[in-house]
Amino acid sequence: MASTLTVLPSHTPARLVVFVSGSGTNLQALLDACRDPAYGAEVVAVGADRDGIAALDRAAAAGVPTFVHRVKDYPHRADWDRAVRDAAVAYEPDLLISAGFMKLFGAEFLAAFPQRVVNTHPALSPAFPGMLAPRDALEYGVKITGATLFMVSDGIDDGPVIAQRAVPVEDGDDEAGLHERIKIAERAMLVESVGRMARGGWSITDRKVTVP
């Protein structure tokens, strides 16, 4: 028999920890949304796997604390995973968001935040998992791609789907142009979904995610 797990944020506004590796436009969309108290969430920390990225500047400009853990500074990947977990735990997050974070979380990180870690991906899952989704979609020749928000599992971009937005591929698209159009849809999807999750929680039955 299917069992349902319901998660309700413990804080009002809900506490978000966002993970980034690059330009941070998805982070910026969340920071902007959180300025409205009615949105129901606040970004309490931003975590990264590298220094010197625009996303960290965006966090600093918003007055949000940051932490950086580089994989290469740890003897084993599991040590890095524990360090990232411990940094995040300290902020008591209700929801953890991988928004352009180019690392996979390990088992110990995920065990600390069951059904509370989400990732945004620039393709319509289950198509085109991995780091090069817009390029892979172009090379395959699909006519429609898009963005997916999903619950992070121990696989690669294959967790239960929370939300998706479709984006048509246009004749003459190159990878950068297509990715930029996907990111417009992606940011809107992320802001809408995270707000609803923050305000009303979410439920998971088998692979089906319900956000009120």
The catalytic residue positions are 121
Question: Is 49 one of the binding residues for ligand GAR (CB under 6 A)?
Answer: no
**Measured distance between the N- and C-terminal CA atoms of the chain, rounded to whole angstroms:** 23
- Of 50-89, binders to ligand GAR (CB under 6 A) are 55
**Integer Cα distance of 137 and 32 in angstroms:** 30
Question: Is 121 one of the binding residues for ligand GAR (CB under 6 A)?
Answer: yes
Question: Is 148 one of the binding residues for ligand GAR (CB under 6 A)?
Answer: no
Between 11 and 135, name the residue whose CB sits nearer to ligand GAR: 135
Sign of CA dihedral 152, 21, 48, 8: negative
Between 54 and 87, name the residue whose CB sits nearer to ligand GAR: 54
Nearest to 54 by CA among 42, 70, 66, 38: 66
Size of the site for ligand GAR (CB under 6 A): 16
Backbone dihedral angles phi then psi of residue 169, each to the nearest 5 degrees: -85, 130
Between 56 and 197, name the residue whose CB sits nearer to ligand GAR: 56
Nearest residue relative to ligand GAR (C-beta): 100
Stretch that binds ligand GAR, among 23-31, 69-77, 80-88, 164-172 (CB under 6 A): 23-31
Question: Is 166 one of the binding residues for ligand GAR (CB under 6 A)?
Answer: no
Please report which residue ranges of 11-150 form alpha helices under DSSP H: 25-34, 54-61, 77-89, 107-112, 133-140
- DSSP letter for each residue of 149-205: EEE--SSSS-SPEEEEEEEE--TT--HHHHHHHHHHHHHHHHHHHHHHHHHH-EEEE
**Integer Cα distance of 177 and 110 in angstroms:** 33
Angle between helices 54-61 and 25-34 (to 10 degrees): 10
Locate 177 and state its tokens: 């142009």
Stretch that binds ligand GAR, among 22-30, 83-91, 137-145, 159-167 (CB under 6 A): 22-30
Q: Which of 18, 45, 46, 99 touches ligand GAR by CB under 6 A?
A: 99
Between 5 and 131, name the residue whose CB sits nearer to ligand GAR: 131
Question: Is 125 one of the binding residues for ligand GAR (CB under 6 A)?
Answer: no
Question: Is 25 one of the binding residues for ligand GAR (CB under 6 A)?
Answer: yes
CB of 78 to ligand GAR, least distance (A): 21
Could you list the residues that contact ligand GAR (CB under 6 A)? 20, 22-26, 55, 99-100, 120-122, 131, 133, 183, 186
